[in-house]
Amino acid sequence: MDRRSRTKSAEGSYHHGALREALLVAAEGLIGEQGLEGFTLRECARRAGVSHGAPAHHFGDLRGLLSAFTAQSFETLDALTTRYREAAEPEPYAQLVASGVAYLDYALANRARFQLMFRSDRIDFGYPPLHAAATRVHDHLRQCVVAVLTGEARQPEDLPDAAVLARTTQAWSFVHGFATLYLDNGLFASQVGGTPARARSAYVALMLGMRDTFEGDPD
Amino acid sequence: MDRRSRTKSAEGSYHHGALREALLVAAEGLIGEQGLEGFTLRECARRAGVSHGAPAHHFGDLRGLLSAFTAQSFETLDALTTRYREAAEPEPYAQLVASGVAYLDYALANRARFQLMFRSDRIDFGYPPLHAAATRVHDHLRQCVVAVLTGEARQPEDLPDAAVLARTTQAWSFVHGFATLYLDNGLFASQVGGTPARARSAYVALMLGMRDTFEGDPD
DNA sequence: CCTTTATGTAGACATTGTCTAGTTCCAGGA
DNA sequence: TCCTGGAACTAGACAATGTCTACATAAAGG
């Protein structure tokens, strides 16, 4: 049970056929079990059933593999956010909260993987697919903020950029800090209730308490 | 210029005399230059002018050294927060903002060192001095939140714990997310203005906008 | 004074990421 | 169909790291 399935080729064939995908799958398992620090390029290759030099042909180096892996993470988060928003009320603020809950749920369900998404020392945001996917996730937040600000009285076109930026910054900082602290600070985690479900409802409650902050004062 | 100063002993003496402190100093320089990922126990020993096995006698292993180092980080942040609060208006909300600004300033001025403070995979919060110092920093925030909530109409004793916890969670999540994202997310950094000074004022502005959130609604 | 114990050294070991040289095999032009 | 170029993979080398063990030195205290 050591050799993994080789979809396109026979079991013992020299060429794998779909090594790139296999390595990304192996990476997911490995990072889920061992965490980010226990992650190893060689162990990843071992799980995919190839030699330790093979990954270089597809990803260049370790940073390349992690960057490609993280691009997938952002894509998944993007899709999750879309689903959460569709399931939520169309009302602007509900959409903003739904985006935040998606962000939080993803982080809590994929600890090490989420942490890697913001480790600029191990991934390369210059990698186009990664940059693109990360931007899409960011756009969800921004769109929601714009909708909340627009919903009141104004037209979208005369929305001051500064206002949108400020609210996006606020919303993003809050979810990100909440998720991050929950994941690697025991003090925070216990303070928030311990279980992911409690954390989730604590987050939602605080977001509802901040509603006026997002909808209010124009400048 | 390889051997570092050995305060208590002669230059070429076998025993260092103050290796523990020397290693922590070396660690500070190393982590400041190379970042957290470039940090190495052996290089740290090299800078202190001792063999690679020497640190084990004082810290056990790498995790032990980083834990002791991070305890100092929290102590420094604690002291910085005290100074910022003393320099600020005594009014409760100004105190809360001052605590946040201290947190943010420390993070921006000590990037890698700050990041290490929340890397539970590399430090051990069970190390008593670390746990104690971290708790002291947390208490600053909590004290400020209590003061803000008390200042209104109530006595401190009938402050619902849940309200204090919720506001502390909110304030902490926000600063922490803000600082963290600024440090390792280019999108966020540029959105907030690029320079630390702009980031600082953006943070303060948002905190002032959230004032009602902290002082308002009892439950 | 002498022995115990803390402090440092030196070398071994397994493991890691990357490089290089050599294999295997697929694909596309003659 | 053959054959040839290049992509995919293997195997071994290399320097570097964290930790372990055996040993050397010195300081402290009976």
* Whether residue B100 has pLDDT greater than 90: yes
Residues 6+ apart with CB under 8 A from B91: B151
A166 close to B (CB below 8 A): yes
Confirm whether any atom of chain D, the nucleic acid strand, is less than 7 Å from CB of A54: yes
* Alpha-carbon gap, residue B34 to B47, rounded angstroms: 13
pLDDT of the residue at B9: 44
B98 has a pLDDT exceeding 60: yes
Q: What is the CB-side half-sphere exposure of residue A118 using CA atoms within 13 A?
A: 22
Residue whose entry in the numeric block shows the structure tokens 């926000």: B174
- The protein side of the strand C contact, defined by CB less than 7 Å from any of its atoms, consists of A 9, 13-15, 39-43, 52-53, 56, 61-63; B 14-17, 19, 50-54, 57-58
Mutation target among A170, A182, A204, A219 for the B interface, most CBs of B within 10 A: A170
Q: Strand D closer than 7 Å to the CB of A42?
A: no
Interval A118-122 mean pLDDT: 96
Percentage of chain A modeled with pLDDT above 90: 82
On average, the pLDDT of chain B sits at 91
Please give the Cα distance from B43 to B29 (Å, whole number).
11
Q: Does A161 touch chain B (CB under 8 A)?
A: no
Name the residue with higher pLDDT: A8 or A192: A192
Q: What is the pLDDT of residues A14-43, one digit of tens each?
A: 676 789 999 999 999 999 999 999 999 999
State both tokens at B106: 């420390």
Of all nucleotides, the one whose C1′ comes closest to residue B57's CA is C7
Strand C, nucleotides covered by protein (CB < 7 Å): 6-12, 15-21, 24-26
Of residues B13 and A145, which shows the higher confidence score? A145
pLDDT given for residue B31 in this prediction: 97
pLDDT tier at A1 (50, 70, 90 boundaries)? very low
Higher pLDDT, B174 or A6: B174
Q: Which residue has the higher pLDDT, B4 or A157?
A: A157
Res B151 pLDDT > 80: no
Which is higher by pLDDT, B208 or A10? B208
Q: What does the pLDDT read at residue B173?
A: 98
Q: Which residue from A37, A119, A135 is facing B184, i.e. has the nearest CB?
A: A119
Q: Supply the pLDDT for residue B194.
A: 84
A-B C-beta contacts closer than 8 Å: 116
For A34, list phi and psi in degrees, rounded to 5.
Answer: -95, -15
Q: Which of A104-108, A202-206, B6-10, B85-89 has the lowest mean pLDDT?
A: B6-10
Distance in angstroms (rounded) separating the CA atoms of residues A124 and A168: 24
State the average pLDDT over residues A85-111.
97
Task: Please judge whether B166 and A209 are an interchain contact, meaning their C-beta atoms are less than 8 angstroms apart.
Answer: yes
Of A91-95, A156-160, B77-81, B114-118, minimum mean pLDDT range: A156-160
Q: With contact defined as beta carbons under 8 Å apart, do A68 and A124 qualify?
A: no
Share of chain B above pLDDT 90, in %: 83
Nucleotide nearest to B49 (CA to C1'): C8
Using CA coordinates, name the residue in chain A closest to B139. A187
Q: Residue B218 — very low, low, confident or very high, per pLDDT cuts 50/70/90? A: low
Whether ipTM exceeds 0.85: yes
Average pLDDT estimate for A8-14: 55
Q: Per CA to C1' distance, which residue is closest to C11?
A: B53
Q: What is the pLDDT of residue B12?
A: 66
| CA–CA distance, A179 with A172 (Å, rounded to integer) | 11
Are B185 and A120 inside 8 Å of each other by CB?
A: yes
Looking at residue A7, its pLDDT comes to: 42
Residue A209 contacts B, CB cutoff 8 Å:
yes
pLDDT at position A161: 87
**Other beta carbons less than 10 A from residue A136's beta carbon:** 16
Does pLDDT of A219 surpass 90? no
Q: What is the mean pLDDT of residues B22-50?
A: 97
pLDDT digits (tens, 9 = 90+) for A56-81: 999 999 999 999 999 999 999 999 99
Q: Is B34 on the interface with A (CB under 8 A)?
A: no
CB contact under 8 A, B121 and A36: yes
Mean pLDDT of B113-140: 97
Average of per-residue pLDDT values in chain A: 91
At position A74, the amino acid (one-letter code) is: F
Give the up-direction half-sphere exposure of residue A160: CA atoms within 13 A in the CB hemisphere. 7
Domains in chain B, start-ordered, CATH in brackets?
1-60 (1.10.10), 61-215 (1.10.357.10)
